[in-house]
Amino acid sequence: MVTMRILKLTANALIAALFLAGCDKLSAFNQLQAGNYQPTFTDLTYGDAPRHKLDLYLPDDVSAPAPLIVWFYGGSWDAGNKAQYAFVAKRFTEMGYAVAIPDYRLVPDVHFPQFIEDCARVVAFMKDFGEQNPSKITAGPMIVAGHSAGAYNAVQLVADPDYLRAVEMNASDIAGIIGLSGPYDFYPYDVKATQNAFGDTPAVKSQPVEMDLTHMPPLLLITGTRDHTVYPRNSRNLAKLAPDTKLVEIPEAGHAGTLIALGFYLTTNDDVLEPVTSFLRVHLPTASDKTFVEQDKAS
């Protein structure tokens, strides 16, 4: 058992290193984990800019509408491609969820808060899409989730109510937020990525920990204890302030470790998957989850 654990940790470390090395490596990882898994709807347009496109994946079982997860990928706000995250969609569709993965505008073409405004457009578009396609997507609140910069986007989108208000939505439209290795407390901007993305934006405008969080929906924050890119204190500090937060720290996991844990081969990590699955079942259950709960109650 010890030998197998060492081998798995070694494999995870090697794949995480490759993952962080660049987009080509991410594409290779995605291919390994998802194969040729394709979206049900490709390049749905949610705005006027060239990057205002999203892919929507639906589960194989279409006998009932699926609850929705919107996934925002990371990349220091200056890189990313929705097609490289099919493995994330596959993980959640196999649980019975519909998954929307958008592209959004990036630095240097835009800066804060424009990429958050794009995320608001995404959730508004998906709310409308669900209302127009009730046989595909469950009416009601959705989960927003992401990794790294994408986790920040998911949290900040709701932490500052102005973003949802601008698209005629509010926190009640969000059933919960899942943040993997996200930066939530990173002022002053002391690395190039945050300097380029946020410029001279004051902390009260950019930092989730500086917001009034009393309106926040439930949060699941997962961080790796060996994350030297976005330090665990970001998740810890936000967890102290948000009223309904579950904080999970993954021993020995680095920055990419919480994301590649969603994969299917070599990198799968139940320490990440189990709290994610539990959070979803509580805050946005699928039809099969509800049936299971009802049967359990009846017995």
- What is the C-alpha separation between 101 and 40, in angstroms, rounded? 12
Note the pLDDT tens digit of each residue in 177-188. Answer: 999 999 999 999
3-state helix, strand, coil in the chain (%, to 5): 45, 15, 40
pLDDT at 298 over 80: no
Note the pLDDT tens digit of each residue in 250-269. Answer: 999 999 999 999 999 999 99
pLDDT at 17 over 60: no
- Average pLDDT for residues 36-46, to the nearest whole number? 97
- What is the C-alpha separation between 87 and 266, in angstroms, rounded? 13
Q: Give me the count of residues in the chain.
A: 299
Domains of the chain listed by start with CATH number: 2-298 (3.40.50.1820)
pTM (2 d.p.): 0.92
pLDDT for 293 equals 54
Buried b (16+ CB within 10 A) or exposed e, 124-155: bbbbebbeeeeebbbeebbbbbbbbbbbbbbb
pLDDT for 291 equals 59
